[in-house]
Structure 1
């Protein structure tokens, strides 16, 4: 279970860093504004998430009785839309160091709360799976053999 928590934590950290990096990147003159970039990125990430989940769903070959557990699990882990909760880079840099650290800690606590909710949903769904389905799920999600995170897993490219 500790490995699962670490994998989830690493995943959300990577997501947070990618989102922060994408927000900090400025487009060339005449390109989309920050709101349009964010919206486009959210759309693209949502599509990638849906494709990964559809592949996982197909690979699991869920029974009719398991479908409601799948739907509940999907609703709980669906990525939330990014909001303007993060301060702009310049404004954040102008804060005194203790305030910056306090804000960083607040963001970390928010991520932790989301991860705990995801873990609860995952545990409930996982309990509904057969041993074969658990093996498939383990191999295809959150950094398993076939990945499920970014670019097919934590370590690189999808192999299967």
Structure 2
């Protein structure tokens, strides 16, 4: 019985040591394998990478819009509404606050700035929604069916949701 007891204690100690080894922190990935693709050395935003990322996103958006336009079979009479909608859907350039200036603000002032930023984002989104409703009203019944299925795919960014985390609830 003492032998079994010793074996159990030894197994428990080995297990505890094994868990400690697993729990050790790992070094963060470096270079191209870093989590945020727009960061350069030392985790700072790399303007060249950000421009490259924006250019790729614009190419993808132009490709998706071209595919959607082809599937919708936009007529010459609808061309103006199409142009107005695609212009409204173009992403707005995000204005990043100056960190040094932001750090000088008091907490209530920061909250006010964040609220103003949120209000601007909401206004931009409202503009896009209104433009979509206006464009949708110009479509034929068949085009509306296509837009209902394909248009949401376009707004979602393909098969993945915001941030590329997959389709939720589907």
Q: Which of the five TM-score ranges fits, normalised by the shorter chain?
A: 0.5 to 0.7
> Rg bigger for which structure?
2
Quote the Cα distance in structure 2 between the aligned partners of 1:156 and 1:33.
Answer: 26
Counterpart position of 1:79: 91
Does the 8 Å contact 2:102/2:110 carry over to 1? Answer: yes
Matched with 2:159 is 152
Q: CA deviation at 1:147?
A: 5.2
Structure with higher RCO (Cα < 8 A, 6+ apart): 1
**Structure 2 match to 1:96:** 106
Moved over 2 A (4+): 32-35, 88-97, 150-157
Offset, 1:22: 5.8
Give 3-state SS (helix, strand or coil) of 1:141's partner: helix
**Gaps (5+ residues) in structure 1?**
1-20
Is 1:65 the counterpart of 2:72 in the alignment? no
Tell me which of 133, 137, 156 is aligned to 2:143: 133
Task: Give the RMSD, CA atoms, in angstroms.
Answer: 3.0
| 2: CA distance, partners of 1:127 / 1:99 | 42
* Distance of 2:54 and 2:154 partners within structure 1: 21
Cα shift readout 1:73-106 (whole Å, capped 9, x = no counterpart): 1122212234xx2225576456432222212111
Could you list the per-position Cα deviations for residues 123-147 of structure 1 after superposition, in whole angstroms to 9, with x for gaps in the alignment?
11100101111111111123xxx45
TM-score (norm 1): 0.66
Question: SS at the partner of 2:40?
Answer: coil
